[in-house]
């Protein structure tokens, strides 16, 4: 077994794994050292495994326990483990971001939590800028994977006399107005070069989210020089200088992304609840959401983190319902009770081309039943 890095995660491999009828154990364990000590997390893991012990094989339980006890280096804030000993399958990933601890047993790896954090923290860039250049960072799941930078002509003010020096110009200009103009021209040229590099960097690495760092004035000017499409990917800015340490850059960037996503989630939930109240393109609560799902109308599904509900699913066509029925009203096949109908809803929305948002700390959605959706029509 090995402690694979976050950067090497292949969600498609996990999704495509065929267990051939064998149970697959998926375990997510939060191990953030700022919350609890190692022994507390090991105890949490023991309880998680006890809860699913009657659903999976002892070999899979042993694989997870052995990895945590002997091989995991406790370097991250969470760890994701997937085991199907009967098929010789094992994957473990150390993650630098927190995850809710859980254990699931199914006929395939449970990848939704992993997909969620990859969507949020998968690939983002930070551009630290000043009037002379820029330093670029590419992060993937909280790990630095690429850097770049540009350093243009030096721009500096000289105290006294109202003059300024532009390094490399070869002389000092006495006229304050003319000097100030030259300084601004040089700074603008440097920022243009930095903006061009940032655009190429983000395009080359498929960056979806960009955070800017620097003084408020410089950041505003730099952002205006970015291509319009890239400006739309800017999710926030932070007052950091070019000499900021890498761990500080990462920590501040994650704070911005988390806040940005929370604002998006609040706006989404408000839009859903408002639309549902008006009877237009929104629904809330489980029954109405299921009705929209059956009609293939869900464009964006919102689910409160941790929300689960028992339900029933047709063994023929996959129809899911919260009601106990003797047989499927669509194909007549047997309907069986399932422990979590929400997971089935999520899977079907994805299959229908919809978007799923698992939202955190949004009381309004919990009060509206824990689930809702924006509809296509």
Strands of the sheet containing 320-321, edge to edge, are: 320-321, 311-314, 335-338
Is residue 247 within 8 Å of 139, Cβ to Cβ? no
The domains of the chain, with CATH numbers, are: 6-119 (3.30.960.10), 122-244 (3.30.420.60), 262-375 (3.30.1330.30)
Tally of CA atoms within 13 A in the half-sphere of 131 that contains its CB: 15
Structural tokens at position 370: 């824990």
pLDDT in tens, 315-329: 888 899 999 998 999
pLDDT > 70: what percent of the chain?
A: 92
Section 203-222 average pLDDT: 95
Q: What angle do CA 103, 260, 362 make, to 5 degrees?
A: 55
| Residue pair 123/104 in contact by the 8 Å Cβ criterion | no
Q: Which residue has the tokens 């989210």?
A: 209
Of all residues in the chain, what percent are helix, strand and coil, respectively (each to 5)? Answer: 40, 25, 35
Distances from the Cα of 6 to the Cαs of 89, 139, 174, 280, in angstroms? 18, 11, 56, 41
State residue 2's pLDDT score: 46
DSSP string for 121-171:
HSSEEEEEE-SSEEEEEEEETTEEEEEEEEE-S-EEE-SSTT-EEETTSSS
pLDDT at 178: 59
Predicted TM-score of the model (pTM): 0.70
Q: What is the pLDDT of residue 233?
A: 96
CA angle 138, 140, 142 (to 5 degrees): 100
* 8 Å CB contact between 269 and 346: no
As a whole number, the mean pLDDT across the chain is 88
The pLDDT confidence band at residue 63, using thresholds 50, 70 and 90, is: very high
Radius of gyration of the chain (CA): 26
Give exposure, 251-275, as e/b (b: 16+ Cβ within 10 Å): ebbbebbeebbeeebeebbebbbeb
Q: Is 298 exposed, middle or buried (0-12, 13-18, 19+ CB in 10 A)?
A: buried
Name the pLDDT band for 103 (thresholds 50, 70, 90): very high
Half-sphere exposure of 3 (CA within 13 A, CB side): 16
């Amino acid at each position: 077994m090995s402690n694979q890095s976050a950067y090497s995660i292949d969600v498609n491999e996990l999704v495509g794994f065929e267990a051939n009828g064998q149970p697959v154990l998926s375990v997510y364990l939060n191990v953030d050292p700022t919350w609890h000590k190692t022994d507390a997390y090991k105890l949490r893991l023991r309880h998680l495994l006890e809860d699913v012990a009657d659903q999976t094989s002892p070999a899979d339980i042993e694989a997870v326990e052995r990895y945590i006890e002997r091989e995991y280096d406790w370097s991250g804030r969470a760890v994701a483990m997937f085991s199907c000993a009967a098929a010789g399958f094992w994957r473990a990933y150390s993650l630098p971001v927190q995850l809710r601890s859980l254990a699931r047993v199914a006929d395939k790896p449970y990848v939704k939590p992993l997909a969620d954090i990859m969507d949020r923290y998968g690939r983002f860039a930070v551009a630290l800028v000043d009037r002379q250049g820029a330093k670029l960072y590419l992060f993937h799941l909280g790990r630095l994977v690429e850097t770049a930078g540009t350093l243009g002509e030096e721009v500096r003010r000289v105290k006294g006399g109202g003059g300024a020096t532009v390094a490399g110009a070869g002389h000092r200009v006495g006229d304050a107005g003319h000097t100030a103009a030259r300084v601004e021209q040089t700074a603008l040229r440097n920022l243009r070069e930095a903006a061009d590099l940032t655009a190429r960097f983000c395009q080359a690495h498929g960056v979806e989210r960009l955070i800017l760092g620097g003084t408020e004035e410089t950041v505003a000017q730099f952002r205006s020089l970015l291509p319009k499409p890239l400006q739309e990917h800017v999710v926030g800015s932070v007052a950091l200088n070019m000499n900021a340490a890498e761990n500080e850059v990462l920590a501040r960037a994650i704070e911005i992304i988390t806040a940005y996503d929370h604002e998006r989630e609040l706006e989404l939930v408000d839009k859903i609840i408002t639309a549902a109240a008006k009877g237009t393109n929104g629904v809330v609560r489980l029954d109405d959401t299921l009705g929209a799902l059956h009609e293939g109308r869900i464009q964006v599904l919102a689910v409160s983190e941790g929300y689960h509900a028992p339900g029933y699913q047709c063994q023929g066509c996959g129809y899911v319902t919260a009601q106990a029925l003797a047989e499927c009203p669509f194909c007549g096949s047997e309907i069986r009770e399932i422990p979590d109908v929400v997971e089935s809803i999520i899977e079907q929305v994805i299959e229908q081309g919809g978007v799923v948002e698992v939202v955190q700390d949004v009381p309004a959605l919990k009060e509206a039943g824990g689930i809702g959706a924006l509809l296509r029509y």
